[in-house]
Structure 1
Amino acid sequence: MPTPHWRLILNGKSAGDDDLREAVGRLRARGIAVEVRVTWEDGDAARYVGEAIADGAGTIVAAGGDGTLSEVATALASRDEAAGALPALGLVPLGTANDFASAAELPEAPDEALDLIASTPAHAIDLLRLQAKDRVHWAANLASGGFGTQVTVETPEGMKKLLGGLAYLLTGLARLGRIEPVEATLRGPDFQWRGGFIALGIGNGRQAGGGQALCPDARIDDGLLDVTVIPELSGDVAATLGTVLSEGKLAALERIATRARLPWLEIDAARPLALNLDGEPVEATRFRIDCVPRRVRMHLPRDCPLLVQPSLAA
């Protein structure tokens, strides 16, 4: 049997992670050839993915947060090869929020995450493809807009390191006095919505912004986008906050949210709108978002809640 050949692409911010270093050493002791590449600037992840494919790597592991996962998945999705001919994708969650990993119930410890990749067959998953201003962007998790996106963009990097997901909540509370709705029209097959929204989620995955479950029922292998629109708040913001505190965030969202499940969605906004794709803000007034079915293969837990039929991932 040939020696398994892995390429681990590590976010430079986590280059000093001793737990990961030890986990890689244990993996090599088991007979798996692991080569590590550290990202330093834009374009590194794409270049490393290209090199890994040229070298015949069977698995590419993204070690970092949602942004690192998206960079590696984007590099894979941008290739001409069919998903079955590309290396499988794995994830070691080392970021601040780790929204995709959290929703997928991936192990947090590097050795457990690497062991899952080694022991669990890869499952074909969908990716989100966004077109704006004649450019194509990809995301593995979720595109979000409105209040939540602005919170993510404005949260200081130092606060993220100190407080993790709580940093997003604190920044969000600081913004409550200046929430401005975004006027837009959303269109998809047998779906149209027009008005002002304060939050928008377009999910391949379920959550963003440090645990905000905008698309709580999304699946990453159903060939569909889960769309959630939170309309402009009527009445006092404090009343809505009261609902959040007394009944929970999901209960409050269900009271006011519009939801749809679509293969594609088009957005026309009255003024430039920023959509956050796994940490990358993309600004435009017109967007086209498609779900691209089964674009990459990924190692996930056998009972991963993001899969339509988790047992088939075994």
Structure 2
Amino acid sequence: MKFLNIQFEGRAQAAVLVDHDAAPAVLPLSRLASSPAFAGNPLPDTVDELLTAQPEILEALRAQLSAGTAAYSHLFVPESEFSYLPCVPQPGKIICVGLNYRKHAEETRSPIPTSPIVFSKFSDTVAAHQEPIPMPRHATEIDYEGELCIVIGKEAKDVTEAQALDYVFGYCVANDISARELQRRTSQWLIGKTGEKFAPIGPYLVTADEVPNPNALAIQTRVNGETRQNSNTSDMIFSCKELISYLSQYIVLKPGDIILTGTPEGVILGYPKEQRVWLKAGDEVEITIEKLGTLKNQFVAP
């Protein structure tokens, strides 16, 4: 299933994207909850509740929607009546992995890592699909990084690679926005990674059952319509299951934590210095990942 976090009727609500008459439609779970089919099996109202919902509740929802959506068509909400919110509204942790694509490591003339390079962003950097991203006041070398994002669904500690994907609720598209001159100031990278709204995620939170192999997904980034990144998650040095297992040895992963798994080649930093044209106000960045949709954001003046 594809879930959304939307601002609708004055508050944040969870919704599900369904196919109806060969077109996508948005169905708030609060509206669906009024259906007699869910009278004894209450649906989660928010994404935070969704992330910790019992599996049987999600199975009931999946079964009900797979039986047909015609009965719920009067509950659909047009896009003009809601706004997108970050598909994971309050991640406890944002864990990021650097240099995790072979061709990206090569384009930046960096050695291939022998263990994952782990850093973080602050949880209040998340932004939504279509949300404007303000340019930083104290940095000019602003870069995009299209990434696959893992959303943890249950507590993971010391899990094996064979078990790792069982702890995933779902996946979404992410942009690890980076201020390169600030990133280079220290080996920790932090100040260059945690600008305001520097972690857009969305538009959908796609459940793991729809992505049986997260390391076989096409990924593409476009700037003002021009393709800049065009790769596949199969180029990752450390696969999704390897990352989850590795991180769980040192960090207790909990529902709602997100892992940004690295970016492929094609970032501005990878261009020769004389060809680098950094992002500026007015630029629009679109990131598309197979099965997960397209995340779109425009950069605006501070």
TM-score (norm: length of structure 1): 0.28
